[in-house]
Structure 1
Amino acid sequence: MPGKAPTKKLSTQEHAAEEPRDVPHALIKLIEDEGLQVGDRLPPELELVHRLGFGRSTIRETLKTWESMGVVSRNKGAGTRLIAEMSRNTLRVALTIKHEAESLIRMQQVRRPLEIEAVRLATRLATPDQRRVINARAAELIAVFEAGEDWRPADHRFHKAVHEATGNLLFEQIIDQILKCFHDIYETPFGKPHLGQDTIPLHKPLAAAIIAGDEEEAAELTARIIDMVCTETQKIAEECND
């Protein structure tokens, strides 16, 4: 019975060009070729270096990433074991979810101080007409949400009214640019177009705080809204990776 063909080792140039991208795929091919299942032990790092032709540090970093994703467990005595099914497709899905989660959270972290400052300025500077518009946009948002319709356009109009009330159009322009950079992830993160819907009821007291000139309450509610989205994002990512 013929033995398996030896795994081709890569040249130094091939390493430089392909290591970051190809190590996970090479490991998955080995797992599939060996028929390894959940609970099985992967070969030791030095054997992986020899068989796959990649540097030990690169293989180690990939295994660390897999460990953080709940794909493998690593123990000096027990070695590296699979604790989740792994294939080319599951890797793609897991990495996509991880990337979306990290990108969305980063975007919200950048957006957070801008939105809080915008709300503070709107609370202090909004004219009576602008306060009426903010109130109307909040009422529209709540009505659309309670009707079970797509509330995102109404949510955009509400925040646009707040940004306009700051008297500084840079807030709207900068935040819009941030959202455009993450458009695909922001519109349907994890395939869920209504991520953040639990924050919608908070927009009514937020509008009331702006109209009443309660700057601290408005800032606190804005921070809560963004923090809730970040928490939900993290929770969904963890559930999808289980």
Structure 2
Amino acid sequence: MTQGGALSYLVPLETRTRGVAVLDALAAMIESAGLTIGDRLPPEVSLAATLGVGRSTMREALNRWEGLGIIKRRQGDGTYLTARVQTSRGLVPTMVRLEGEALLRLMEVRRTLENDVVRKAVIAANPSQRAEIGRLCTLLLIEVDAGRPWRKADHAFHGAIYDASGNPMYGQILANLDHALERGGDSPFGADAFGLESFPIHRTLADAIVAEDVEGSVAAINAILDTVEDEVKAIVGGGLSGV
């Protein structure tokens, strides 16, 4: 399928819609045109003109997909698909499912890094660092139990574990990974309710680190990640069978 041929699957949007409507139209085009990973998308200017939206709107939409790892821009060459794109068949919006799938890919990387950092933290942490990890976990769970915003406390808790590992690069890499995954303002994966079921296991993780229990700490971080992955799959599962 040529780039120009793919454009035939687009129709102008009725209004100069921003964001999700543009991305939904692009997802439908990719699926209908049979474009797959490694294929090049039509030029940005052609996409914008065919949908009847401004280039800035199209650029913003493609930036969001690039942040999700769905496309990759090659300067002077074009924009290429780097992940599967299919429209949803169920009740879950296409963009929610694509965000969820991107989050699952990110968590594969996180799991490798988190296992290593937790193992190193248990071995390298000094008594004051262990006490701080336990204290910050208590503060985190107080915020969660009170129904207050918890992200700052969560970052502090995990940051203490990264510091205890003795390698500050862990924290920087994991923070960059999280920031690289762009979520929409109405994304369920950015809501305070997302991931709540994992927080009781944070206590298990903190206690294992304090007790210098390597295997228990690794098991706890994997249990946390498993819980979050299960929640992601539950959210996106209605969008496409087999996810």
Instruction: Tell me which interval the TM-score lies in, with the shorter structure as reference length.
Output: 0.5 to 0.7
CA displacement 1:155-191 (0-9 Å, x = unmatched): 1100000000000011001101101101436994456
Higher share in helix: 1
In the other structure, the counterpart of 1:114 is 113
Q: Which runs of 5+ in 1 are unaligned?
A: 1-11, 30-53, 72-83, 85-92
Is the alpha carbon distance of 1:218 and 1:59 closer, same or farther for their aligned partners in structure 2, counting shifts above 3 Å?
closer
In the other structure, the counterpart of 2:123 is 124
Structure 2 counterpart of 1:70, from 83, 89, 107: 89
Q: CA deviation at 1:143?
A: 0.8
Query: Is the contact between residue 162 and residue 170 of structure 2 (CA under 8 Å) also seen in structure 1?
Result: yes
Query: Is the contact between residue 144 and residue 151 of structure 1 (CA under 8 Å) also seen in structure 2?
Result: yes
In the TM superposition, 1:49-64 aligns within 5 A as 58=33
Q: Secondary structure at the match of 1:119?
A: helix
Q: Secondary structure at the match of 2:233?
A: helix
Q: Which runs of 5+ in 2 are unaligned?
A: 15-28, 37-84
Q: TM-score, normalised by structure 1?
A: 0.64
Query: Is the contact between residue 119 and residue 218 of structure 1 (CA under 8 Å) also seen in structure 2?
Result: yes
Query: Is the contact between residue 183 and residue 189 of structure 2 (CA under 8 Å) also seen in structure 1?
Result: no
Query: Is the contact between residue 120 and residue 165 of structure 2 (CA under 8 Å) also seen in structure 1?
Result: yes
Q: Which has the larger radius of gyration?
A: 1
**TM superposition outliers: structure 1 runs of 4+ over 4 Å:** 185-188
Q: Distance in 2 between matches of 1:126 and 1:186?
A: 37
- AA aligned to 2:226 is D
In the other structure, the counterpart of 1:16 is 3
Q: Secondary structure at the match of 1:184?
A: coil
Superposition CA RMSD, Å: 3.3
- AA aligned to 2:3 is A
Query: Across the two proteins, how many residue pairs are aligned to each other?
Result: 177
Identity across matched positions, percent? 30
Q: TM-score, normalised by structure 2?
A: 0.63
In the TM superposition, 1:1-242 aligns within 5 A as 15-17=2-4, 19=6, 23=9, 25=10, 58=33, 65=86, 69-70=88-89, 94-184=93-183, 188-190=187-189, 192-239=191-238
- AA aligned to 2:165 is T
- AA aligned to 1:111 is R
Is the alpha carbon distance of 1:96 and 1:187 closer, same or farther for their aligned partners in structure 2, counting shifts above 3 Å?
closer
> Could you tell which deviates more after superposition, 190-199 or 164-173?
190-199
Query: Is the contact between residue 183 and residue 190 of structure 2 (CA under 8 Å) also seen in structure 1?
Result: no
